[in-house]
Chain A
Amino acid sequence: MPRKILKQTVPGVCLFLLISLQAQLSPQESLHRVWAVKDCRILSLSGPAVEKGSIIIRNGLIEAVGPNIPIPPDAEVIDGAKLTAWPGFTDALGQSLLKWPEEKFDAAKIYSGDFTDKDKGITPELKAFDLVNLGKAAIEKYHTHGITAAEVLPDKGVLTGQASFFSLGAPDKNKALLLKENAFGIGFSPAGFLVYPNSLMGVVAYLRQAFSDASYHALAKSRWQKEMRGSERPDYNGQQEILAGYAASKKSFIFLCRNQHDIRRALSLADDWKIDFFIADLGSEASLVIPELKKSKAKVLCTVAFKAPGTSLYSQLGKEQREKAEKDIYPKNPARLAEAGIPFAFSSLGTDDPKSFIEGIQKAVEAGLPREKALDALTGAPALFFGLDKALGTIEPGKIANLVLATGDPLTKDAKTRYVFADGQKFELKEAKAKEGEKPAVNVSGKWELSVEGGLKLTVEFMQEEGALSGKMTTPFGAFDFTGGTVSGKEVYFEMNITVGGQQLDLYFSATVEGDTMRGSVVQGTQGSAEFTGKRIP
């Protein structure tokens, strides 16, 4: 499929990391993998800023950094005039680098009730390492926004899976891997099928029982291994092995908390199980739980989508109140945590493309988070959280060469990335010309997965020609074609007429597209509407 150049507008208010367009980055393989960035401004984050200095990169590591360093003769020199260097950012928790396997949901299951553990959201064996896609296109987007490392976790369901930490320097995951299966994800979202657990309270009860079972299993197993004579041996149970394994080796658990109440539940469970844990603050409400977080010495992974969770009062007070809260209150969450001294790093969950991630962080800065704290939450803090502070987080000799070379200062509007080093590989950013205003502004051709509120999942294959949209939608009740849709600007609209159980349903979909995601609502005739999000399936 030919590459299309996407036009992205630059709203006056929003502070971007760079004005862009589609980056065309290519790793430059220098024969010796040695570079010298000469005479640039250096924000090492390990000491005061250096106005003019050099950085020597060799074999993936920073060999030397500072003013007046000799330039090795075998180094390829980059002129650092007008450029500033700072450590590459770490996305402390994300899932957009995962390529989820395409699965067709077997509607017959609804009748037979043969739901698998996967359907229930119980997938402890699911590994980020197995699903990660570090292809050129994928990591390009990250580099464009200065992100050079990421903790990646499958985040769906209740026992969501196992995370791994990657440095985004190569498409080969074996090369990019830093930590394999270093954290385990726990979510509070029931899958919604008529199978246990299907309610939130069921999920909580399920988690309690799962941990109890896991520790019991470990006890029974060690008993049998120690004294085989006379002991009943326990059945093998993969799930219990995994959970017990993480707890025993003091690896971390990451609780995916949708709102402040989930955070309290997570703290209570963590206290019961005596485990090491992180709180992924998906609802940006951690600042409402500060005393409890302090008491538990919790480490928080802040998200920056800043959408009011459904449980919050603002969501229940109506659109005006909710939008006001999303503008004025939720973006203050990281600033409040910083003020209270709660350690946190930034996670891209909820803002699945790097651009929205960085924009969200900008919003947090505008809302009062000191810029240095924001920077730390993108560099030093995640390194510390994952035990990688000796390898990442600052520009210091011996650390991994993950850094950004740009004009301007980090997290400001006028910053423009020129080069990115990831794992000591150079990536150069070429600017492409912006295309003149055309409508439509997006092209949604291709496959998308839509998640409709209430748990319904649909796949759509769009075919867009100029502003005309047609395609085919696959639902649990069959596949249906549609035509006559429109795309104008970023707005997508199309209608569908489907027959289910003899009843005709008219559905009207409208959505706003942002990158590879869309958000919108579907109206069913006179009966009401439901919200949905869409994600492009590569």
Chain B
Amino acid sequence: MKSRMTILLAALLIAPAALSPARPTAKGLLLKNGNVLTISGGTIAGGDILIEGKTIARVGKNIAPGPATDVIDLKGKWVMPGIIDSHSHIAIEGNVNEMGDLITAEVDVKDVLNPEDINIFYALTGGVTSIHTMHGSANPIGGRGIVLKLRWGGSAKDLIFEGAPTTSKWALGENPKQSNMTGPGRARYPKTRMGVEAAIRKEFEDAKQYMREWDDYNRKLKDSRAGKGKKPLPLPPKKDYRLEAVADILRSKDWVRCHAYQSEEMLSIMRLCKEYGVKLVCFEHGLEGYRIADELVQYGVAVSTFADSWAYKWEAFGTLPHSAALMAKRGVLVAINSDDAERMRRLFNDAAKTVRFGGLTELEALKTLTINPAIILGIEKYTGTIETGKDADLAVFSRHPLDPYTVCEMTLVDGKVYFDRAKYLDDRIKAETEKKKKEEDAKKAKDKKIGAEE
């Protein structure tokens, strides 16, 4: 789901190189006098956050700034850890789905990152600092995804979240079955849920065979080097990137993120993953996950879901906006995501819904946007809470983030301010005034010319 989003940046006439943050990187940055929602250590009213380089150096009250430290007075505004959207498709160039084949595990979103995607900026206006962007849900195994930090203005390399595990995107249900594709086209296997699982199993068996062939070859190579074994050397097996990628999944190297809706197909794939030793980390959407909450907890798989999207297709009908809370209350690790560029900007509004639908506390609601997705993505060492030693990924709001009238005012990634609403509005007013003046001048010149001609 891609929305068409375009935007006027802070300064209309600035070249791309200058699109970097509003504030220069001083040695340190002190955010003082805010309501700090640390997530891990309670809320500090009138609290301060000291940032050194890209790290949070101290969190507390009455922190004194150092000599080379910029100071921003938050004047009572609310600060939370930067929001982490663990299911997104932005910053990808070209089609988000490789629809040609069934299993396309070798396809990698890292090859097609587009750091110029304006949706990155949009996400920053909504307090998002990190995202997990990946292949769509057209194939049972779609390809590799990647975790990004929204360092807007940098190159593709600059966006990559170092240290984050690689992921593999799977999909079950109506999308890989292409049940809802209208228009002319060839029918593609599989057309049933059991077919989807059968396709994954077959690929696993093929990959295991491939791994055996390579093990065999490597053994023969070792033997011949050590002097044993027959000559000549056998030809190595042909390198197959697709089977290599599936082999990585079988070696538990990639963290599997599986798009699924129906409760029973989730149970079935959990069984399959256990059988093959695959690291199944999270179900995407999992709208019927509330039905198998205990099983999810027992298995140790998380769910990254919507606050309340539903009824757009049949498998999204048997659900309710309480599902996130229902799962969380029974111990499932739940994250709330957007899966949509426009929605990413208002994830904090979405989290508020779990308070009413299902009765999560405000802290639990905020966790679904911060520490929970961080754990699901394997980056909780670096981000997800406001603690000493973690990256300074922060979002500043005019009111409590779950307040209906809150607005995101500032977003920092790695201690740098990448979005500042006050400056944005300022620049806009300047640009509009300038444009008006230009138009008036042009009109005056035109009138004068006509006057002179008469």
Would A113 and B238 be within 8 Å (CB), given that A196-B101, A199-B95 are in contact? no
- B174-198: CB near A (< 8 Å → 1, else 0) gives 0000000000111010000000000
Does A31 interact with chain B (Cβ within 8 Å)?
no
Is there an interface contact between B112 and A110, defined as CB atoms closer than 8 Å? no
Is there an interface contact between A329 and B15, defined as CB atoms closer than 8 Å? yes
Shortest Cβ distance from residue A320 to the other chain B in the assembled complex, whole angstroms: 8
- B94-122: CB near A (< 8 Å → 1, else 0) gives 11111111001011110111101110000
Query: Residue B116 contacts which of A205, A220, A311, A329 (CB distance < 8 angstroms)?
Result: A311
Shortest Cβ distance from residue A17 to the other chain B in the assembled complex, whole angstroms: 31
Query: Beyond A209-B241, A311-B93: 9 further Cβ-contacts under 8 Å?
Result: A198-B95, A203-B94, A204-B111, A205-B98, A205-B143, A209-B242, A261-B93, A288-B16, A316-B117
User: What are the residues of chain B within 8 A of A318 when measuring CB–CB?
Assistant: 6, 8
A107, A196, A230, A232 — which one has the most chain B CB atoms within 10 A of its CB? A196
Shortest Cβ distance from residue A290 to the other chain B in the assembled complex, whole angstroms: 12
User: What are the residues of chain B within 8 A of A264 when measuring CB–CB?
Assistant: 156
User: What are the residues of chain B within 8 A of A232 when measuring CB–CB?
Assistant: 235
Is there an interface contact between A199 and B107, defined as CB atoms closer than 8 Å? yes
Contact residues, B10-27 vs A (CB, 8 A): 12-13, 15-16, 19
Contact residues, B77-107 vs A (CB, 8 A): 92-101, 104, 106-107
Query: Residue B186 contacts which of A113, A201, A261, A316 (CB distance < 8 angstroms)?
Result: A113
- A209-221: CB near B (< 8 Å → 1, else 0) gives 1001100100110
Is there an interface contact between B95 and A196, defined as CB atoms closer than 8 Å? no
Q: How many residues of B contact A (CB 8 A)?
A: 45
Is there an interface contact between A199 and B118, defined as CB atoms closer than 8 Å? no
User: What are 26 pairs between A and B in contact, CB < 8 Å?
Assistant: A111-B185, A111-B186, A113-B185, A190-B94, A190-B95, A195-B100, A196-B101, A197-B100, A198-B98, A198-B99, A199-B107, A200-B111, A201-B94, A201-B109, A202-B98, A202-B107, A204-B111, A205-B106, A212-B241, A231-B235, A265-B111, A288-B16, A313-B19, A317-B8, A321-B12, A324-B13
B153: nearest chain-A partner, CB-CB: A313
Does A28 interact with chain B (Cβ within 8 Å)?
no
Is there an interface contact between B6 and A110, defined as CB atoms closer than 8 Å? no
Is there an interface contact between B135 and A313, defined as CB atoms closer than 8 Å? no
In the docked arrangement, what's the CA distance between A433 and B185, Å? 54
A220: nearest chain-B partner, CB-CB: B235
Shortest 4 CB-CB distances between A and B: which pairs? A196-B100, A200-B94, A113-B186, A199-B95
Shortest Cβ distance from residue B155 to the other chain A in the assembled complex, whole angstroms: 8
Shortest Cβ distance from residue B372 to the other chain A in the assembled complex, whole angstroms: 28
In the docked arrangement, what's the CA distance between A333 and B311, Å? 50
Does B227 interact with chain A (Cβ within 8 Å)?
no
Does B202 interact with chain A (Cβ within 8 Å)?
no
User: What are the residues of chain B within 8 A of A497 when measuring CB–CB?
Assistant: none
A324: nearest chain-B partner, CB-CB: B13
Query: Residue B100 contacts which of A202, A227, A261, A312 (CB distance < 8 angstroms)?
Result: A202
Is there an interface contact between B6 and A201, defined as CB atoms closer than 8 Å? no
Shortest Cβ distance from residue B108 to the other chain A in the assembled complex, whole angstroms: 6
Does B240 interact with chain A (Cβ within 8 Å)?
yes
Query: Residue A194 contacts which of B9, B16, B185, B235 (CB distance < 8 angstroms)?
Result: B185
B232: nearest chain-A partner, CB-CB: A227
In the docked arrangement, what's the CA distance between A316 and B90, Å? 14
Does B239 interact with chain A (Cβ within 8 Å)?
yes
Query: Residue A111 contacts which of B95, B109, B184 (CB distance < 8 angstroms)?
Result: B184
Is there an interface contact between A200 and B113, defined as CB atoms closer than 8 Å? no
Does B68 interact with chain A (Cβ within 8 Å)?
no
Shortest Cβ distance from residue B403 to the other chain A in the assembled complex, whole angstroms: 31
Contact residues, B236-260 vs A (CB, 8 A): 238-242
User: What are the residues of chain B within 8 A of A212 when measuring CB–CB?
Assistant: 238-239, 241
Does B7 interact with chain A (Cβ within 8 Å)?
yes
User: What are the residues of chain B within 8 A of A110 when measuring CB–CB?
Assistant: 184-186
Is there an interface contact between B7 and A317, defined as CB atoms closer than 8 Å? yes
A107: nearest chain-B partner, CB-CB: B184
In the docked arrangement, what's the CA distance between A220 and B239, Å? 12
Does A208 interact with chain B (Cβ within 8 Å)?
yes
In the docked arrangement, what's the CA distance between A231 and B234, Å? 9
Does A439 interact with chain B (Cβ within 8 Å)?
no
Would A197 and B118 be within 8 Å (CB), given that A111-B186, A265-B111 are in contact? no
Does A112 interact with chain B (Cβ within 8 Å)?
yes
Does A223 interact with chain B (Cβ within 8 Å)?
yes
User: What are the residues of chain B within 8 A of A329 when measuring CB–CB?
Assistant: 15
Is there an interface contact between A261 and B7, defined as CB atoms closer than 8 Å? no
B13: nearest chain-A partner, CB-CB: A324
Is there an interface contact between A201 and B98, defined as CB atoms closer than 8 Å? yes
Contact residues, B417-446 vs A (CB, 8 A): none
